[in-house]
Chains A and B, each alone.
Chain A
Amino acid sequence: MLRSIFSILALTIGLVVLAQPAKPKKEKEPVDFRPYEVKIGVNAIRGIRTLSGSDDLTTYEFQTAFAVHKYNLVFDFGVEDHKRGESFAYDNKGSYYRIGFDRNFTKDKASGNVLSLGLRYARANFEDQLLFTTDKGFGLQDYLLQNNSLTARWLEVAFALRGRIVSNLYMGFTMRWQFLRQINGEGELKAFDIPGFGKTKRQNSTAFDYYLMWRIPFRE
């Protein structure tokens, strides 16, 4: 009798345990790959250098960054006209673009703040000209050398910070490490600068840019 009661009790406990509702599984939220904001801005350092007229550089750069999930799809476009030289006149002008993506490490997407690391492909189309007068052992002569159709490409690793200043205005910097540079189209004259890259004497280069950006959210 005791054995029967024990068996019934054990069966009842077992059924009760089995009848416990299963813990609800934490369901993964579906990833939304629709862009939720875009930031449009200017490179402040380049803009200030141009507007101040402090050196022979005219340059503007614009940046567009679409935020998608944890990533920013970034597109830069710039123009540059750089004149150099004390005993000669060197003029290098052209345009460039960079395209790539950043991984945004900030948790709060709604804030619009950015702390990111990313990769860019960059390309420049430009021309340069060197005019100078010198005596290379054959009397004083004028020399004019030019490259009319130069292209350059390189890759960049970019570290970026953007913080909200007021309303939808954001400010921040991008530090870049530029590498795997290639130039095509050079003749006798070797290019001294590449728009968007800097001096060619370095095979790899670093750059620091400051951006002012306006954020346009696509949904609240």
Chain B
Amino acid sequence: MFGNPLTILTLGPILAGFAFMLVAWAAPPSKRKEISQYIRLLIFAFSLLLLSLSTLMFLESYSGISWTSLALNEYVYDNCANAEIAIEAGGCSLVDGFGVSWHVGVDGLSFPMVWLTTLLIPISMLVEWNAKKGAQFHSLILMMEGALIGVFVSLDLFVFYTFWELTLIPMFFLILLWGGENRKYAAQKFFIYTFTASVLMLLGILVMYYFTRVPVWDGNLTGRAFDITLMASSSNTLGSAFLGGFGMQKAVFLLLLVGFAAKMPSVPVHTWLPDAHVQAPTAGSMLLAGVMLKMGAYGFLRIAVELLPGAMVHYQLLLIVLGMISLVYGAMVCLGQTNLKRMVAYSSVSHMGLIFIGIATMQPLGIAGAIFMMLAHGIISPYLFAVCGAFKHHYHTLEIGSMRGIAKFSPWLGGHMMAAWMGSLGLPLMAGFVAEVAIMIAFWMAFGWWVILPALTLIITAAYYLWSMQRTIFEGGDEGQLPDSLHGDEPVDVSWHENAGMFILAVFAIVLGVLPFIFFDMMSSYSNEFVTEVLLDVLNEVMP
């Protein structure tokens, strides 16, 4: 049960994080600083170990496992394959009495997210290498890694929801204890928004639980189970096993939509994001934008779309509208921002809208593009926030108008800003471009010339990125202009660890832009399978 690499990836960091936290806490005050430094190194090594584990799993796709031939409801590293039999045999059940099982597995949808998480954790540690109270800071990040991976690998709604809530706790503390001046307000807002949304999501999950009949096994008191694969087999075809039929599907879909949309976040439930980002420490922002937002998109695909495809077809237009509003509104708001980090935060809202649109095209290419967007945004937006963090750290300000010509003072910082900004606006040969093109093509296939609407929005995206970049690192004549917040100090360039972290992100943004197929193949095989096996059936059934 616990020999599975996914189990190690999930529970390992959580337990290790706890252990490191305890050691750091129990250390005698005289030696605290020294011990703290050792712990930081150990944590970093541990996270690298996890990264190499997930990379090894990925490399197996070229030898052992063929990731590209996964059918729907088939998972790699599945510890509980064929759940109906396995759970009854007691192989993976946690509580028989009400049908909770430790069921983990990855497929073309979740594996890129797992790998992304393991990659971002060491990088975010690297970028904020010198955080105060480093041992606690880094062990919180390590705990967060376990919870995040748990969300992506669990195939049991109960465990999924538990990990989903568990991610809140470390992030909450990261914002509250290491955040900016207004951190209490931001942490509270973050918690209230996401918690309320997840309560609605819980209601949706519970309705699914209560209304799905699974084969009753011995010792199951309620005659139900949280297992996603069991649920999928009974609800995919709108079968009779799902009580309440199609109308019920729609109601549950809306509940789940609210829960996931608030996490993504999509307009109109996005307002917690800018506050949380501006107040969060750099590493927190990187993980928030890089992985936590993807939880929303991932959960939406995995649960709402996969389990309730009929409702998905029904609400296609709603999703398109929501996505378009997020895309356009996010971009427009970016134009008006004066704070770099706030602007980047709103650009996330805009990009998440694009993911919604990609899913809602219901084309194999669109869904694959949306998943690739999740990966690309997961690499580029941490890059953006790392740059913002460097500005905050070395120039003590994030106001766009207050500094000019920074490239002269900090050439490395200027270079990174340029690379990150270009990557995010969708420069060809960088990861974001691939995703955008895939989504646009799918949009054209689904809706024809309406594609002009989202395509034109990309111009706004380019506008706010280029404009803010120009004002910050160029302009200002030969002397440039240093911000007042520097108080006349000598400007410095990024430190080595920031530089290293950002450099790795840049490399991956370009590698995935030039060779997208290393991940795109598994994504498109997943989406192909999903569309041909599930959505087409539903389309024929629901809309004759």
Q: Note whether A and B form a binding pair.
A: no
Chain B interfacial positions (CB closer than 8 Å to A): none
Chain A interfacial positions (CB closer than 8 Å to B): none
